[in-house]
Amino acid sequence: MKKPFSLQVDMDSFLPASAEEKEYMVQMRPSTTFFRDGVKRLVKNKIALISFIVIVAITVAAILIPAFWPYSYDQMLGVQPGRPVDASYNNLKPMTYGRTEQKLIDAGEDVFPHLFGTDQHGRDYFIRVVYGTRISLAVGFFASIIVLIIGITIGAISGYVGGKVDLVIMRIVDIIYSLPDMLMVILLASVLGVSRLGEAIEGTSLERIGGNIISLFIVFAILYWVSMARLIRGQILSLREQEYVLAAQATGARSGWIIRKHLIPNCISVVIISTALQIPNAIFTESYLSFLGLGVNAPMSSLGSLASDALNGISSYPYRLVIPAIVISLIVLSLNLFGDGLRDAFDPKLNA
Amino acid sequence: MSLLSVKDLHTSFFTDAGEVRAVNGVSFELERGKILGIVGESGSGKSVTAYSIMQILAETGKIVGGSIQLDGQELVGAGEKVMRTVRGNKISIIFQDPMTSLNPTYTIGHQLIEAITLHTDRNKKEAYDRAVEMLTLVGVNEPQRRMKQYPHEFSGGMRQRVMIAMALACEPDILIADEPTTALDVTIQAQILELMQSLQKELGMAIILITHDLGVVAQLCDEVIVMYAGSVCEQGTADEIFYNPCHAYTRGLLRSIPSVDSAGQKLQPITGTPIDLLNMPKGCPFAPRCDDAMKICIRERCEMLKINAEHNAACWINVRDAQAKEEESDG
Amino acid sequence: MADNQTPLVDIRHLKEYFYISTGPFTTKPLKAVDDVSFTIRRGETLGLVGESGCGKTTVGRTVLQLYKPTGGEIWYDGKQVKTARDLKEFRTKATMVFQDPYSSLNPRMTVSDIIAEPLDVHGLYKTKEERRERVLELMQYVGLNSEHASRYAHEFSGGQRQRIGIARSLSVNPEFIVCDEPVSALDVSIQAQVINMFDELQDKLGLTYLFIAHDLLVVRHISDRIAVMYLGKMVELADADEIYGHPLHPYSKSLISAVPVPDPRTARANQRIALKGDIPSPLNAPSGCPFRTRCPYATDACAESMPEFKEVSSGHFVACHRTAEINS
């Protein structure tokens, strides 16, 4: 008989394979979670990673530096109790010293340098920039939190309850959208600024940052929640169509359970991403309001008010405008880039 | 010479998690006027094979080896310019979901005429006549009126007819149908399958039918290729595949379908789950799920063996049985 | 306790209309389910077949009151499910398995949390340990490796995901499960595994199924009796063998003949009863018998009234004016 196949194989090879041998061939991939996957993608994204490092560095600096810096943001170095005002401290160039400090240096003592010089009142400019950064970051962060809370609540209600409630909320959103927001911000900030808000917060810790910032928060709370609400509503609407929500309903789960266990965990990544993208927006708004004089109360500084003050001596001291401008750009840029990176890494729609 | 000849095709997708070898050494020949069925489960690489022929792979996908010859012309590495003349003119494709393949903002007529004028040198008027002719051919009633309608005004079955009309308008040599009836209901599916069969007889083109449904294959195909995890398990005429399956996977597949006689009995499923294409084993990809797996299956992959003139299979069982038979006759 | 004669599930004249807005102030009822009645005995599998848009999924969901029925009554084990309290109890006895193994499992929950969700909702355990044990027991029932309890659903293949879904539906120890196309999203080889599992679970736990599918071969395999739906109406209901061997309604006939048989010789010999045209939209359902627009036997009488759903032989119900003439 002719051999049917040219291959001749040792008969031992035809013994049945054991279950272990077969199982050895299939191995489940190591367990990963959605979050770990996302982080992996995020870390791979160099731009996002660098941005994240920049943000962390700036934030840590803004929090820690004032603790050990020998000068304070409102300390006029030329003004010493019981002595005449020493004008030599005003408008110092970077790394130069006032007259009394110069004497100490000449006497061989160490004097902490004024990295960015001083302003026209003799205040250390570096620490003012640090404080300004602190204020800007804090405003950005808290304003976004406010937007987040209001946006999620209203968006979730609108999406989950639906029907007439949804209709009314969405029309309100449309109306707010149609307002020219910059104009509204300025209008609200100035109206609230001149009202009794300042007196209301007198004596509290809020006094230092001033009524203007409070009104800024209010502006954010009134105007900027709309896009967040729309986003959340859309998310909830599409999540509600998922069969696992139906499955939960079929087991008899209440609305609270469904929202807590199914809806929120599944839109949390979108929420985080858009919050991250909201922060630079808030910082930017705060800066230009401060620039227009509607921001923090003097002597507290913010990056916007520093830039605004710098306009007075722009020809002699251009760096006083450049420094806060660079810091704002750096913060806003890296937050935006990081937010984009977050979205690429976590938004399932993009990496489907 | 055969119309289309695919030799040792390898297509991979390069993802974050690594290289996914979606098609792993697929070879087949397609003769003029034949209907070839490619059967396989999800992830078997049946659609990727078709997309590789058309070179319409997703961005991460790439043909990494092998050759595809259409009428003797090499298509792998031929470049976009050549492929544009091939697509639509010589090879057309229809997809599972006709809704996503039609542009919702244009009328059916507009899209048909555009397709025709793009691929042939007909003028607008001639193209219009051709479009009406094609719609009539695929059984769309009142074609002139239907030409003015938008895709959403058509039902699923009607849309698939329109897609077929569009695909056939330029008289391609090959029609690739990627799960053309999966999204349709049984009675509509029967209509479309009948239509494809009669059109094939009338126009004489070759069809590559990609499906997971062995019933559809049995109804339509002359030749069948069975794929698993990116490779061809078995190929042959429909009768050979259905009545003389020589690969453990094909056998398992045929056994696992409920039939009219199986009521009240247990089905005989293939155990286990499909293999992870990222963790492809060295041996036969089906071995972990195969009840007849042998030591050699774990170690190495079986080559395509010739069972008879119209039947090939890549399964060690055939070697074992042949050797056993030989020894029997010897002893 | 009800005796054996009482059907476990008794659906009477079930109606489910959705109101679709056709203009700024006008709505039109979409009669997804229109006057459907059937019973399911304890331990039985009733198959429900029909094409897309026929309302079979809506029947399943309305039976479990995921949609509030527009009309009709749902009786379970001799009692009507009516009040909120009835419903709460009903939900621990009747559960559902869904079609899509991807969207039916929450991607942010672990397998054990998914399976235990009904237990959590109803507070059916006293200690964490009890919950864990129950989850592992269920995973074993459906053939999942218990080591994978803390993994997320997206790490599993379609067939395994469907097993997770089935384990979830079993967690409250139900008597009745509505299976809404549970295998149609699965590959053929996996389909058979899951179908066998449904069989085994039924034998082991004495389950009753309402098995909804469009694949007639699958339904035929698993069902004791089969109901055929067309455009929101039930057109035929009989024993599985009966409906396959002697379908009486012209729609059932063509549906059964249209199934592609995985056998080339039969396929070549098979005389298909091709239906002309498409399924009408349920929003513009034809008057009288809904099937008359595609029916080869339709007469004027069919346009006038909906034929009664009546028993023509023991246990064989059909809704057609011309049953006698067509089948003589």
3 state SS of B93:
strand
Q: Are A274 and A229 in contact (CB under 8 A)?
A: no
CA distance B329 to chain A (A): 8
What residue spans define the domains of chain C? 9-93+174-326
Q: What is the pLDDT of residue C163?
A: 93
State how far the Cα of B96 lies from the Cα of B99, in Å rounded to an integer. 9
Please state which of the ranges A206-220, B109-123, B137-151, B273-287 shows the lowest mean pLDDT: A206-220
Has residue A352 got a pLDDT over 50?
no
| Residue C91 contacts A where some CB pair is shorter than 8 Å | yes
Chains that touch C (3 or more CB pairs under 8 A): A, B
| Residue A9 contacts B where some CB pair is shorter than 8 Å | yes
State how far the Cα of A17 lies from the Cα of A47, in Å rounded to an integer. 50
3-state secondary structure chain A: CCCCCCCCCCHHHHCECCHHHHHHHCCCCCCCCHHHHHHHHHHHCHHHHHHHHHHHHHHHHHHHHHHHCCCCCCCCCCCCCCCCCCHHHCCCCCCCCCHHHHHHHHCCCCCCCCCCCECCCCCEHHHHHHHHHHHHHHHHHHHHHHHHHHHHHHHHHHHHHCHHHHHHHHHHHHHHHHCCHHHHHHHHHHHHHHCCHHHHCCCCHHHHCCHHHHHHHHHHHHHCHHHHHHHHHHHHHHHHCCHHHHHHHHCCCCHHHHHHHHHHHHHHHHHHHHHHHHHHHHHHHHHHHHHCCCCCCCCCCCHHHHHHHHHHHCCCCCHHHHHHHHHHHHHHHHHHHHHHHHHHHHCCCCCC
Q: What is the pLDDT of residues A34-73, one digit of tens each?
A: 677 778 888 888 898 999 999 999 999 888 888 887 777 7
Which of B179, B185, B223 is the best substitution to test chain C (most C C-beta atoms within 10 A)?
B185
State how far the Cα of A155 lies from the Cα of A270, in Å rounded to an integer. 13
Q: Which residue has the higher pLDDT, A35 or C117?
A: C117
Has residue A33 got a pLDDT over 80?
no
**DSSP run (H or E) holding B66:** strand B61-70
Q: What is the pLDDT of residue A2?
A: 42
Of A138, A137, A126, nearest in space to A72 by CA: A126
State how far the Cα of A325 lies from the Cα of C88, in Å rounded to an integer. 62
Model confidence at C234, in pLDDT bands (50, 70, 90)?
very high
3 state SS of B246:
coil
Has residue A3 got a pLDDT over 60?
no
| Residue C96 contacts A where some CB pair is shorter than 8 Å | yes
At position C245, the amino acid (one-letter code) is G
| Interface contact B187-C193, CB threshold 8 A | no
At position A298, the amino acid (one-letter code) is A
| Residue B18 contacts A where some CB pair is shorter than 8 Å | no
Has residue A292 got a pLDDT over 90?
no
At position B65, the amino acid (one-letter code) is G
Has residue A117 got a pLDDT over 70?
yes
Chain mean pLDDT for chain A:
80
State how far the Cα of C223 lies from the Cα of C199, in Å rounded to an integer. 10
CA distance B268 to chain C (A): 7
Q: Chain C partners of B157 at a C-beta cutoff of 8 Å?
A: 278
Has residue A317 got a pLDDT over 90?
no
For a pLDDT cut of 90, what percent of chain C falls above it? Answer: 50
State how far the Cα of B91 lies from the Cα of B176, in Å rounded to an integer. 7
Give chain A's domains with CATH numbers.
37-75+124-346 (1.10.3720.10)
**Minimal-distance CA residue of chain A relative to B320:** A14
- Cross-sheet strand order for the sheet of C225-230: C94-97, C176-180, C208-213, C45-49, C225-230, C233-239, C316-318, C310-313
- Considering A16-30, B114-128, B281-295, C226-240, the range whose residues carry the highest mean pLDDT is C226-240
Q: What is the pLDDT of residues C250-304, one digit of tens each?
A: 999 998 888 888 888 888 877 777 787 778 888 888 888 999 988 888 888 898 8
Domain C9-93+174-326, classified CATH 3.40.50.300, yes or no: yes
Q: Are B114 and B199 in contact (CB under 8 A)?
A: no
| Interface contact C105-A32, CB threshold 8 A | no
At position C171, the amino acid (one-letter code) is S
Has residue B186 got a pLDDT over 90?
no
Q: Chain B partners of A21 at a C-beta cutoff of 8 Å?
A: 293, 295, 298
Q: Chain C partners of A243 at a C-beta cutoff of 8 Å?
A: 98-100, 103-104
| Residue B326 contacts A where some CB pair is shorter than 8 Å | yes
Collect all residues with Cβ–Cβ distance below 8 Å to B186 and sequence separation of at least 6. Answer: C51, C214, C216, C255, C258, C259
Token digits of residue B106 = 């244009």
State how far the Cα of A241 lies from the Cα of A149, in Å rounded to an integer. 24
State how far the Cα of C236 lies from the Cα of B36, in Å rounded to an integer. 38
**Minimal-distance CA residue of chain A relative to C92:** A251
State how far the Cα of A237 lies from the Cα of A161, in Å rounded to an integer. 10
Has residue C84 got a pLDDT over 50?
yes
| Residue C263 contacts B where some CB pair is shorter than 8 Å | yes
3 state SS of C46:
strand
Q: What is the pLDDT of residue A266?
A: 86
**DSSP run (H or E) holding C138:** helix C128-141
Q: Are A246 and C58 in contact (CB under 8 A)?
A: no
Question: Span A105-114, mean pLDDT?
Answer: 79
State how far the Cα of B219 lies from the Cα of B202, in Å rounded to an integer. 18
Q: Chain B partners of A29 at a C-beta cutoff of 8 Å?
A: 276, 278-279
Q: What is the DSSP letter of C35?
A: E
Which of B297, B299, B301, B315 is the best substitution to test chain A (most A C-beta atoms within 10 A)?
B297
CA distance B261 to chain C (A): 8
Model confidence at A351, in pLDDT bands (50, 70, 90)?
very low
CA distance A261 to chain C (A): 8
State how far the Cα of B142 lies from the Cα of B161, in Å rounded to an integer. 14
| Interface contact B319-A7, CB threshold 8 A | yes
Q: Are B279 and B212 in contact (CB under 8 A)?
A: no
Question: Span C46-74, mean pLDDT?
Answer: 91
Q: Are A261 and C106 in contact (CB under 8 A)?
A: yes
Has residue B246 got a pLDDT over 80?
yes
Please state which of the ranges A170-179, B14-23, B271-280 shows the lowest mean pLDDT: B271-280
Question: Span C236-246, mean pLDDT?
Answer: 92
For a pLDDT cut of 70, what percent of chain B falls above it? Answer: 99
Q: Are B186 and B102 in contact (CB under 8 A)?
A: no
Q: What is the pLDDT of residue A207?
A: 62
Please state which of the ranges A336-350, B281-295, C121-135, C202-216 shows the lowest mean pLDDT: A336-350
Q: Chain A partners of B283 at a C-beta cutoff of 8 Å?
A: 25
Model confidence at C22, in pLDDT bands (50, 70, 90)?
confident
| Residue C271 contacts B where some CB pair is shorter than 8 Å | no
Q: Are B237 and B223 in contact (CB under 8 A)?
A: yes
Peptide bond into A299 cis (omega under 30): yes
Q: What is the pLDDT of residue C1?
A: 43
**DSSP run (H or E) holding C216:** helix C216-222
Model confidence at A240, in pLDDT bands (50, 70, 90)?
confident
State how far the Cα of C16 lies from the Cα of C59, in Å rounded to an integer. 8
CA distance B168 to chain C (A): 22
| Interface contact B279-A29, CB threshold 8 A | yes
Model confidence at C40, in pLDDT bands (50, 70, 90)?
very high
Q: What is the pLDDT of residue A7?
A: 56
Q: Are A211 and A190 in contact (CB under 8 A)?
A: no
| Residue C303 contacts B where some CB pair is shorter than 8 Å | no
Q: What is the pLDDT of residue A75?
A: 77
Q: What is the pLDDT of residues B208-234, one digit of tens each?
A: 999 999 999 999 999 999 999 999 999
Q: What is the pLDDT of residue A290?
A: 80
Has residue C3 got a pLDDT over 60?
no
Model confidence at A4, in pLDDT bands (50, 70, 90)?
low
Model confidence at A1, in pLDDT bands (50, 70, 90)?
very low
Token digits of residue A40 = 């992996």
Q: What is the pLDDT of residue A194?
A: 62
User: Of B188, B216, B269, which has the smallest distance from its Cβ to C260's Cβ?
Assistant: B216
Q: What is the pLDDT of residues A193-232, one digit of tens each?
A: 666 555 666 666 666 666 677 777 777 778 888 888 998 8
At position B93, the amino acid (one-letter code) is I
Chain mean pLDDT for chain C:
89
Chains that touch A (3 or more CB pairs under 8 A): B, C
Has residue C109 got a pLDDT over 60?
yes
Burial class (CB in 10 A: 0-12, 13-18, 19+), A321: middle
